[in-house]
């Protein structure tokens, strides 16, 4: 997935953000990766991941919350990674 911003904007326009998983729809996990939670028309939870909050447009980055502020994180959680590849500059 190399166009997180487009997915975010489309989900926002459709009103399909979901905050039930983490208390907010856009969270930064302890290693700096970003997770966006949305619901499809059938009600399935979809998680869209991105390597770093720092590479998102400022208007999207302004809406994130730290997962650790919502849910306590164990040492294992703080070391976990989603194994995402950094986006290539175009």
Share of the chain above pLDDT 70, in %: 76
pTM given for the model: 0.77
The closest of 74, 86, 72 to 33, measured between CA atoms, is: 86
CB–CB of 18/39 below 8 Å? yes
At 1-13, the pLDDT tens digits run: 468 999 999 999 9
Token pair of 65, please?
A: 């919350």
């Amino acid at each position: 997935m190399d166009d997180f911003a487009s997915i975010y904007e489309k989900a926002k326009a459709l009103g399909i953000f979901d905050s039930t998983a983490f208390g907010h729809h856009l969270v930064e996990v302890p290693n700096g990766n970003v997770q966006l939670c949305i619901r499809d028309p059938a009600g399935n939870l979809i998680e869209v991941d991105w390597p770093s909050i720092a590479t998102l447009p400022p208007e999207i980055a302004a809406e994130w919350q730290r997962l650790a502020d919502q849910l306590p994180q164990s040492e294992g959680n703080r070391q976990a990674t989603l194994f995402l590849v950094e986006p290539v500059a175009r």
